[in-house]
């Protein structure tokens, strides 16, 4: 039987052990709680840092990256800043932010295209009305040019007609940039007529020197005449605007392996590498054309060239420098757009520079049977073939059709000279015209203006050539009264 003191001692021992165990557990719980509180504090600090970093990244995205991404749509050469924390790149957060920029750029492109299409549609309608009004004014000027013979009035009408032609060119270029058709197809025309037609649409056309090295009769198919004239006019306009007024712009027409090339050289300031690359992208027509990308005010010349090169499969290159220090522009017309016209039945315009490829009959060498004092029959105007009696047969001497070198680059006349020549011509032929039927306006006007090209006329083969020289009365008379030479 257990004694009471032993029982009390055992109880005390058990209580002491239990208290010790409970105290150890409480101590461990306290240490664990302290450790958890430290971890919570560290996590809270880390979370606060992450929130601040994320907030700063979003603010950087909104303030810098988003505007730069929007500007890059219009100016691809601009760079978009990266994230503030380089370690963000490649993480889910970095990928999400990049997706935000891509989605933004895609939407900006879509909205910009939609707005630009609406603007182009509005401009097409406006230019259509403007062109119609300018064509009516052109017809009224033609009627006045036929009706009155006063030289001063003819000079005034000449200037008005040339100004009207320049306005027509600007309206036509704006319409082409906005997606309108270049105009109705013309008849087949000589390449040199299309080039001089583009030249005649410009202010300062007298500075252009055209050297024609094409074979006689080299022509353009009907649907390529007006596009080539428009492209040449815009290239010449750039050359004239960006070169000194006392310098010439040289145009050369050459045959190449796959067609014909029109090379335009100016002595201007030239372009920087970036400007040349941008101009080449525009004239190539590979990129969509937006009015908002053409500047303020918009520069539409190169953009119109790009539209036409893409529509008619032409090729324009402006990436080379001119040997005169400016810019060299080369228009290449593929052989499938080249045709041939009989130059005898349909000669080029009187004012067009004559080709240097014209064949010149060669004279026979003097015979050894003739002395030095008696020239050979060929040299004396005889034919070298003897007749039935064995004597040289006298024939009429045919003059070689030699074109002086300077005539190939004959400058276009000033409006004053052409107007004065027109007045004198009309006065001299008034009696003859009084008894004849009224000629069509296009035929009479072919020799009176520097080239009011009308793209809306199908049957008119006038490509807008510069007026013939004032001193070439014979050619002017044939051109005006005949009308069939255009």
Residue 400 clears pLDDT 70, i.e. is over it:
no
Q: Tell me the β-bridge partners of 328.
A: 265, 320
Residues 6+ apart with CB under 8 A from 92: none
- Provide the CATH topology of domain 126-357+415-482: Heat Shock Protein 90 (3.30.565)
| Gap between the Cα atoms of 196 and 191, Å rounded | 9
CA distances from 327 to 79, 134, 209, 331 (A): 30, 33, 16, 13
Angle at 290 between CA 285 and CA 294, to 5 degrees: 90
For the residues 440-460, what does the mean pLDDT come to?
Answer: 37
State yes or no: pLDDT of 481 exceeds 50.
Answer: no
Residue 411 CA to residue 383 CA, distance in Å, equals 39
pLDDT at residue 263 greater than cutoff 90: yes
| Residues 9/12/18/22 CA torsion (nearest 10 deg) | -150
Mean of the per-residue pLDDT values of the chain: 75
Secondary structure of the chain: what % helix, strand, coil (to 5)? 55, 10, 35
- In whole angstroms, what is the distance from residue 285 CA to residue 307 CA? 6
Contact 238, 202 (CB under 8 A): no
Q: For residue 327, which phi and psi values (nearest 5 degrees)?
A: -115, 140
Residue 264's pLDDT is 95
Q: pLDDT at position 77, please? A: 82
Statement: the pTM of the whole predicted model exceeds 0.85: no
Domain ranges of the chain: 126-357+415-482
419 alpha carbon, distance to own chain's centre? 32
Spatial distance between the Cα atoms of 55 and 85, rounded to a whole number of angstroms: 12
Q: Which residue has the higher pLDDT, 472 or 239?
A: 239
Residue 262 and residue 333: Cα distance in Å, rounded?
Answer: 8
User: Which two structure tokens, joined as six digits, stand for 205?
Assistant: 């056309």
pLDDT above 50: residue 378? no
Cβ burial of 473 (10 Å; 0-12, 13-18, 19+) is middle
3-state secondary structure of 373: coil
| Lowest mean pLDDT, pick from 111-115, 184-188, 447-451 | 447-451
Which pair of structure tokens corresponds to residue 19?
Answer: 């208290």
Q: Is the pLDDT of residue 391 over 70?
A: no
Give me the helices (H) in 180-289, please: 191-199, 222-241, 273-284
Q: What is the mean pLDDT of residues 367-389?
A: 37
Angle (CA) 449-455-457 rounded to 5° is 90
Three-class secondary structure assignment of 273-308: HHHHHHHHHHHHCCCCCCHHHCCCCCCCHHHHHHHH
Backbone φ and ψ of 46, nearest 5°: -65, -40
Give the mean pLDDT of 425-440.
Answer: 41
């Amino acid at each position: 039987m257990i004694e009471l003191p032993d029982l009390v001692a055992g109880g005390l021992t058990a209580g002491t052990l239990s208290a010790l165990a409970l105290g150890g557990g409480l101590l461990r719980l306290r240490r664990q709680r302290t450790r958890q509180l430290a971890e919570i504090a560290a996590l809270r600090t880390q979370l606060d840092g992450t929130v601040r970093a994320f907030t700063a990244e979003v603010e950087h995205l909104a303030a810098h990256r988003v505007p730069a991404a929007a500007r890059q749509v219009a100016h691809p050469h601009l760079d978009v800043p990266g994230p503030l924390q380089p370690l963000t790149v490649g993480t889910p957060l970095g990928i999400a932010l990049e997706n935000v920029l891509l989605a933004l750029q895609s939407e900006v492109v879509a909205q910009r295209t939609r707005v630009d299409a609406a603007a182009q549609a509005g401009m097409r309608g406006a230019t259509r009305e403007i062109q119609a009004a300018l064509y009516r004014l052109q017809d009224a000027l033609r009627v006045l040019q036929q009706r009155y013979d006063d030289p001063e009035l003819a000079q005034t009408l000449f200037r008005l007609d040339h100004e009207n032609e320049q306005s027509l060119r600007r309206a036509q270029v704006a319409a082409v940039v906005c997606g309108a058709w270049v105009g109705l197809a013309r008849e087949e025309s000589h390449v040199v007529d299309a080039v001089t037609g583009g030249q005649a649409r410009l202010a300062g056309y007298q500075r252009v020197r055209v050297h024609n090295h094409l074979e006689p009769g080299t022509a353009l198919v009907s649907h390529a005449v007006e596009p080539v004239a428009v492209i040449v006019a815009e290239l010449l306009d750039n050359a004239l605007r960006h070169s000194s007024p006392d310098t010439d712009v040289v145009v050369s027409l050459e045959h190449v392996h796959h067609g014909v090339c029109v090379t335009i050289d100016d002595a201007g300031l030239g372009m920087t590498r970036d400007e040349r690359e941008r101009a080449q992208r525009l004239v190539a027509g590979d990129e969509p054309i937006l009015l908002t990308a053409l500047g303020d005010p918009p520069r539409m010349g190169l953009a119109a060239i790009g539209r036409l090169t893409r529509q008619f499969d032409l090729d324009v290159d402006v990436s080379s420098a001119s040997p005169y220090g400016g810019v060299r522009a080369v228009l290449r017309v593929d052989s499938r757009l080249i045709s041939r016209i009989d130059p005898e039945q349909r000669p080029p315009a009187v004012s067009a520079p004559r080709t240097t490829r014209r064949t010149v009959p060669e004279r026979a060498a003097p015979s050894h049977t003739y002395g030095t004092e008696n020239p050979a029959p060929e040299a004396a105007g005889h034919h070298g073939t003897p007749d039935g009696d064995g004597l040289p047969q006298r024939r009429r001497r045919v003059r070689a059709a030699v074109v002086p070198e300077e005539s190939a680059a004959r400058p276009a006349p000033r409006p004053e000279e052409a107007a004065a020549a027109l007045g004198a011509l009309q006065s001299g032929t008034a009696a003859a015209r009084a008894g004849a039927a009224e000629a069509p306006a296009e035929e009479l006007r072919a020799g009176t203006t520097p080239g009011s090209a009308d793209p809306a006329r199908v049957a008119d083969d006038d490509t807008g050539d510069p007026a013939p020289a004032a001193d070439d009365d014979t050619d002017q008379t044939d051109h005006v009264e005949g009308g069939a030479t255009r």
